Structure 1
């Protein structure tokens, strides 16, 4: 009876077998990419000689220089210096409060999901493999069963999609593979007992610790899109292992018609470094730099061999020379015995020619070529060349040399915005109960903000002429900025603030002239500065009016009997007003100056 019920379900053994056949077809189409990913991991670990051993030189030292690794490490450091922060903007005026709450809550949700570590891991894979992949899932077991959003870095080697699609969302099926312990899986899913034979193999990176997969099973997370009775595509999910269906959303009565996620998208966000046509995956810096790095390493090998040979004393010795070879090879002996007479024909030193200057120049030129290819010039790392010593000139060159990093960051920010949209959609679907988030206010104080999906779900539209217009679901825009700025960026912004202060931009009396100058300026946070200067100008006008009123009040009080002291107190208050105005003007980027 159990087998009959299993076959009657929408996803059974036949559907699982068809899905595994589709997976094998996808694997065949991705075989070249998988090989490149495994090869790039060796290049990153400077272990690429495992694939490029020269059979003509067995046992010879094969050095690996770190120029390629240094370029990638510097670009990863640039990414971490510009950690993203979301700002949610509403598209309708009545969604303003919800957008403000989301702007405060989203960073807390990301922090609770350990997003900074995920961001770092995704960037390493983006630089090494050419594509960083982030998974946005709903974890129903989190928070003691309440459930919460889980953000994970996904290994591109374990993802398979239909060959030829440019956008991952266009693939009819998407497979994510993982290796898990067979005993633990059998304990969790009893239907897996007796099905221990693996039917799917996975590509693996080359490790030096001799990892074994004898007690592992390949778990296949099968995501697929199928239309419902209304023609709308629904996202469904099936968990397979060794040909057995462990779970399927179509077999779940609560999700059979609705699908796994209401947003209907695969929960994976691809962030390619350099885009390839007809593929959601791109290529990275290792693919561009590996040939040049290989040439440098081969030259290092040849030069090291030359230095070793030149440092050793070798001889050409004839069989008739009569020289004791053991005594000749023993450098501790002061006397070497010879039988007969030596001459140049039977015995002579063999001297290895030293390195030529043009060889060293050629090697250095290949190193400079690799730096140019990767955009990892000396100035981007804080070094100087060409006699540049002025701080302003160095700063300008560093800013010009960082355009490649800024371009990569913009791509990462676009992917981050897509991740935030998926997080908001999961909040809309699963945040049924109200949750409280601790956020940090503008002045550093802790605030507790309640939040639920009530403000995200569809709201009824007001009737017009007695006609119901249905409901409207709030829609938001996400603007991404750098939460953790580099030291150079902070220094540049601080210098801009000091220049504005020296020029009198924050003097309320200069508000009109300062606003005219700020309209022609463009730097991060300029809108806040314009708002503050405009507010200072309004405050100055109010101050002038108030001082006039105080002066007239003081004159009127002085004419009254006993009003001299009151007039003096009023004059003292008037003198303190400019101090208060100046203190209020001393504000930068929303932070009060103590």
Structure 2
């Protein structure tokens, strides 16, 4: 009995009560899992992901000998984190666009509910994990489902980031956007034995601890396996959550562990997804041809990272030779001379018969090409990743005008902007899956908080989306006075016909440029100097509002339309109004020296204009 407890089960080992058909389904899931695992091994993905993770976390260029410097100047970490921090600094939100005119009546409510789900799911934290996977490993996978225990039992659609190491899709799919054409999708994750018992009280007790898993996705990364140090902390088993389609195209889910079919959604839940979509979205960083798995920035940056480390090794080795040079000692030193005692220790006394019996071999200075090539490698890393010097907070070269810096930054960040656009496109599919969960499983009215410029509360009823009035063109519009161009469609009895709402969602996540408050403030100051016939481009009230809301200055609100008191026109040579007594007046304007004209206005360099589309008309 004591041995049974070590296996994580207080009951004697016995087979789970399942039929031959159920066991056959469990073995089918295990077989599909192994086949998908073998396809990833064929591409060498687990080994590559382990290498990418090691490089990102400074496990690179190990010491090859005692004298090897093992230099590590981690440019990969800087490149990855700068892109993610720039993305997380932007405001986010959803946009719901109805597919028919009737959907627009509830589009604002749909948008509020999706934003509420994003906020409750810690969107900033999830997007951080998502981008780390995408930029480092080449892919990010987002899973959507409904947590029925959330919100005090009311239920809430949730989303989580699935590691590519735990995701197994149909190898026949050759592109990430074709994931829904897969025959199966498997999410493999280790779970504690106690979790099995809580989730499936009848069958969970038969799940045993797995000591050695032939196909262990958690063995991909170096830091995995920390729970294996003790038996008590390793009471776990691998759960296979397999999504398949039946002959009619209906999606269903099988949960399998230890060759035990724990749950079949066709028996307990009925229709799993209203559009029969797998609850996963896969987003590539850079697509590969012939497979759905993508490539990340780390894979492209590793050769440059190795070059920088090697050049650093050369510089450090040369510095050691220059500081501790080689010495040639002749026979005149005497028999009592001991080389082992001749060290770099200060105030060292060395007995020697002939003090001139040695000669220092001068070290050869390192080639000037080495540090030059090292600096060039840093620039190449930025070119590969698409991150420029302005976005890293460094001083831009040769350009100082604000407009020119803005144009240079936009032109230099085209690669980063492209990545962000593909990220937003993929997350738009996630928002669609979240709305499906709202339609299927969120059926209770409730108050939700709307954050933003003017926080508010909205009372929402998800059932409204299931009975949207069908609107059709009104043939009487224009023929009869007072008729609207669109009317509600009714049946023979005069009852309004309805349909389920359908929306195309978009994720709003900045425009690819840093949302920097100092830059925005400087732009507002510049725009206050621009005026149009109907008023200034930016009013004083709008500028004060930005200083109060974004900068945090304690400024009082002013009534709308209030403008600062006008100052009387200043006469030439007169001091400004309100100038304290004793202060010197303004300096009179001075003419430029003879032979010198007015300094030219600072303009955007022509090479910048070429990058942003040419000279403005």
Tell me which moved more, 74-83 or 472-481. 472-481
Q: Indicate whether 1:27 and 2:54 are aligned.
A: no
Q: Separation in 2 of the partners of 1:225 and 1:59?
A: 60
Distance 1:456 1:63, change over 3 A: farther
5 Å-filtered alignment, 1:246-265, equals 246-252=262-268, 254-255=269-270, 258=271, 260-265=272-277
Q: Separation in 1 of the partners of 2:226 and 2:69?
A: 23
What is the TM-score with the length of structure 2 in the denominator? 0.73
Q: Separation in 2 of the partners of 1:505 and 1:12?
A: 77
* 1:201 Cα deviation after fit: 2.4
Q: Does structure 2 retain, via aligned residues, the 8 Å contact 1:430–1:453? A: no
Q: Separation in 2 of the partners of 1:205 and 1:462?
A: 58
5 Å-filtered alignment, 1:309-324, equals 309-318=321-330, 321-322=333-334, 323-324=337-338
Q: Separation in 2 of the partners of 1:501 and 1:361?
A: 45
Q: Which residue of 1 aligns with 2:583?
A: none
Q: Separation in 2 of the partners of 1:208 and 1:433?
A: 41
Q: Does structure 2 retain, via aligned residues, the 8 Å contact 1:327–1:337? A: no
5 Å-filtered alignment, 1:300-449, equals 300-318=312-330, 321-322=333-334, 323-325=337-339, 327-329=341-343, 331-333=345-347, 335-339=349-353, 341=354, 347-440=358-451, 444-449=454-459
Aligned pair count? Answer: 496
Q: Separation in 1 of the partners of 2:33 and 2:440?
A: 30
Q: Does structure 2 retain, via aligned residues, the 8 Å contact 1:384–1:394? A: no
5 Å-filtered alignment, 1:129-528, equals 129-165=137-173, 166=175, 167-186=178-197, 188-189=199-200, 190-193=202-205, 195-196=207-208, 198=210, 200-202=215-217, 203-207=219-223, 210-212=226-228, 214-227=234-247, 231=248, 233-252=249-268, 254-255=269-270, 258=271, 260-318=272-330, 321-322=333-334, 323-325=337-339, 327-329=341-343, 331-333=345-347, 335-339=349-353, 341=354, 347-440=358-451, 444-457=454-467, 462-463=489-490, 472-482=499-509, 486-488=514-516, 491=519, 495=523, 499=527, 502-504=530-532, 506-507=534-535
Distance 1:440 1:192, change over 3 A: closer
Q: Does structure 1 retain, via aligned residues, the 8 Å contact 2:29–2:240? A: no
Q: Which residue of 2 aligns with 1:113?
A: 121
Q: Separation in 1 of the partners of 2:227 and 2:503?
A: 47
Residues 390-449 of structure 1: CA distance to partner in whole angstroms, max 9, x if unpaired?
33322221222122222111111111211111111111111222122122476x252332
Q: Does structure 2 retain, via aligned residues, the 8 Å contact 1:429–1:453? A: no
Tell me which moved more, 311-320 or 134-143. 311-320
Distance 1:121 1:500, change over 3 A: same
Distance 1:144 1:129, change over 3 A: same
Q: Separation in 1 of the partners of 2:309 and 2:415?
A: 26
Q: Separation in 2 of the partners of 1:163 and 1:187?
A: 34
Distance 1:392 1:223, change over 3 A: same
Distance 1:583 1:475, change over 3 A: farther
Q: Separation in 2 of the partners of 1:490 and 1:479?
A: 28
* 1:342 Cα deviation after fit: 6.2
Q: Which residue of 2 aligns with 1:564?
A: none
- Which SS does the other structure have where 2:342 is aligned? helix
What is the TM-score with the length of structure 1 in the denominator? 0.75
Q: Does structure 1 retain, via aligned residues, the 8 Å contact 2:386–2:412? A: yes
Distance 1:210 1:7, change over 3 A: closer
Q: Does structure 2 retain, via aligned residues, the 8 Å contact 1:158–1:177? A: yes
5 Å-filtered alignment, 1:38-117, equals 38-49=50-61, 54=64, 57=65, 60-117=68-125
Higher helix share: 1
Q: Does structure 2 retain, via aligned residues, the 8 Å contact 1:68–1:286? A: yes
Distance 1:471 1:226, change over 3 A: farther
Q: Does structure 1 retain, via aligned residues, the 8 Å contact 2:102–2:469? A: no
* 1:157 Cα deviation after fit: 0.8
Q: Separation in 2 of the partners of 1:390 and 1:88?
A: 39
Q: Does structure 1 retain, via aligned residues, the 8 Å contact 2:491–2:497? A: no
Q: Separation in 1 of the partners of 2:340 and 2:518?
A: 69
Q: Does structure 1 retain, via aligned residues, the 8 Å contact 2:96–2:111? A: yes
Distance 1:342 1:94, change over 3 A: closer
Q: Separation in 1 of the partners of 2:110 and 2:406?
A: 37
Tell me which moved more, 181-190 or 75-84. 181-190
Q: Separation in 1 of the partners of 2:524 and 2:355?
A: 82
Residues 460-517 of structure 1: CA distance to partner in whole angstroms, max 9, x if unpaired?
783577899975332222243336984348845984796488423544xx9xxx9xxx
* 1:456 Cα deviation after fit: 3.6
Distance 1:475 1:409, change over 3 A: same
* 1:283 Cα deviation after fit: 0.7
Q: Does structure 2 retain, via aligned residues, the 8 Å contact 1:83–1:483? A: yes
Q: Which runs of 5+ in 2 are unaligned?
A: 1-13, 471-487, 538-558, 564-617
Distance 1:475 1:224, change over 3 A: same
Q: What RMSD, in angstroms, separates the aligned Cα atoms of the two structures?
A: 3.4
Distance 1:505 1:116, change over 3 A: farther
- Which SS does the other structure have where 2:250 is aligned? strand
